[in-house]
Amino acid sequence: MGRHSKPSPTFGYNNVPMNSSMAPSSPAPWAERARIPFVSTSFAHNLVYYALLWPVWWALGIEQLLLPFFALYELFRFLIRADWRVQLNSTAVIAILLAIWWLVPIFWVDRDFLDIYLKETATIWSQAIILILIYNCIKTRREWWLIVRALTILAVYMAIAGFIYLSGLWRGSFTSGIGFVLPQSLIDGSAFFSSIAIRTFGSQSDEVGLFVIRLRGLSLEFSSLSMVCLLLIPLIHWRMILSRGVARILFAGVALGLFACLLFTESRISYVAFVAAIPLYVVLRWGLLRGHNRPLIIALMLAAMGAAVLLGYIAHGLIFDTLEATFVDLRPSSWLVRFNIYVVTLQLLPDHLIAGWGVPVRIPGGGSIYAAGTHSSYLGTLFQHGIVGLGLYLGLWISIWQAVIRGLRRPAGRELGSFWIALAVAFLAFNIREIADAWWWDQSLTFVVWVMWGAALVANRCFAADDPGTWGGLSVR
């Protein structure tokens, strides 16, 4: 090294350069040199470690309880290292406002369901915290790819769990770590505590449906797994088309495994959502929305709508019988339960229209999971948190979709361009699916949703930071 060479920069938390006055004069502490997971590693790495340990959390029965504590730990760690300076974007602000509004019904929440209210409140605050952390901590393309890796790891685990159960390698059950310490009365009286105390990848169908068995994998319920698959299948497909050789084969296997999991959840609305998202994939993948193709696409859409109306007029009887056989006759109790839930929800809605009931309301004669204000994210949010809560929730989704649409419209390379297509397809399918189910109860699902949201919010910024010349000097917010 020459006598006038500059010393190499020292990097602090998340590879942020420190000026020379901050550089340590003595060797780094042993903990920093050893890079102890969750202690001296970055938030991006810790998301990967958290995902890697998911089967451990699941076997211990704590994966549904641990995520809020992880979010709080990472938040305080970040605030201390960042001198309590935080940057917020519009999405994080909306998430914080939703979390604050979530507290309003505490004054009239039925105390018999206070535990449900507290769990969901912890989840919504965790949602805001994770979005804040991703926006503040994920600054480079390398860090962005780490959070994508966390999603990929969870996708692999979900596919493996489905393969184990569907192949017959193991279809038993066992008592989780937390199951040994929970009171038996609590396990017997609560669907939630029962599900985390007794672990299984699936079960026999309660009534005759498409399949003899139904799969839940590492999720709490069949519906949660179906929503996880709708999100992760496009993401893994994106990783597959970017890969070559053995990696492409492995990603193809994971995608097929997730598709099998989706089928065996026997969620019919998920089937509809998956099929509905395919035309969007075709349109975006082939660039059919570009200027010169737009008139043709509009004409084809109008023609398709006309053909659908004509077909409905000619074969309305057959179509009605098919829909009835699929959604009513096949597992009729599922349809009847949902119908009853929606009717009671609408009847009780006016009592707390502005701020909501705060929790689901038990329907007389129904089980613990069959309550008014459930089985729909939109109607459930309106019921539990009123018009204001639903407005904030929709605003949150609108801000996410704005980020996706900006990504689709902005010139990008194959790596990022195909990512936006995968995200648009995944989010469309998810938005359709949540018409018939809420998603903030199961932490395996919330983890996937939040990290995908975060990846969408910071993708352009991370890629621009590493290669600003390809972005034409555009600032990325």
What does the pLDDT look like over 161-179, one tens digit per residue?
999 999 999 999 999 999 9
Total count of domains within the chain: 1
> For residues 336 and 328, what is the distance between their CA atoms, to the nearest angstrom?
8
| Residue 10 belongs to some domain of the structure | no
Digits of tens for pLDDT over the chain (477 positions)?
444 444 444 444 444 444 433 344 444 444 445 689 999 999 999 999 999 999 999 999 999 999 999 999 999 999 999 999 999 999 999 999 999 999 999 999 987 788 889 999 999 999 999 999 999 999 999 999 999 999 999 999 999 999 999 999 999 999 999 999 999 988 888 888 999 999 999 988 766 567 888 999 999 999 999 999 999 999 999 999 999 999 999 999 999 999 999 999 999 899 999 999 999 998 888 876 666 666 766 776 677 777 767 666 676 566 555 555 555 555 656 667 788 888 889 999 999 999 999 998 888 766 556 788 888 999 999 999 999 999 999 999 999 999 999 999 887 677 898 999 999 999 999 999 999 999 999 999 999 999 999 999 999 999 987 665 444 333 333
> For residues 397 and 452, what is the distance between their CA atoms, to the nearest angstrom?
12
Determine phi and psi for 214, rounding to 5 degrees: -125, 140
> For residues 259 and 184, what is the distance between their CA atoms, to the nearest angstrom?
36
Which CA distances in Å does 250 have to 233, 257, 350? Answer: 13, 10, 52
pLDDT tens-digit map of 70-122: 999 999 999 999 999 999 999 999 999 999 999 999 999 987 788 889 999 99
Angle of helix 414-433 relative to helix 222-242, nearest 10 degrees, comes to 160
Could you give the 3-state DSSP secondary structure of residue 362? strand
| Residue 22 belongs to some domain of the structure | no
Token pair listed for 74 = 């990472």
| Residue 118 belongs to some domain of the structure | yes
| Residue 26 belongs to some domain of the structure | no
| Residue 13 belongs to some domain of the structure | no
Contact indicator for 176, 82 with CB cutoff of 8 Å: no
| Residue 24 belongs to some domain of the structure | no
| Residue 290 belongs to some domain of the structure | yes
Question: Shortest CA distance to 22 belongs to which of 30, 32, 10, 36?
Answer: 10
Token pair listed for 225 = 């797994």
Token pair listed for 134 = 């991703």
| Residue 4 belongs to some domain of the structure | no
pTM: 0.86
> For residues 167 and 429, what is the distance between their CA atoms, to the nearest angstrom?
27
Residue 412, sorted as left (phi over 0), alpha (psi -120 to 50) or beta, turns out to be beta
pLDDT tens-digit map of 197-206: 999 999 887 6
**Helix then strand then coil, % of the chain, to nearest 5:** 70, 5, 25
Range of the domain at 315: 41-468
Token pair listed for 277 = 């998202």
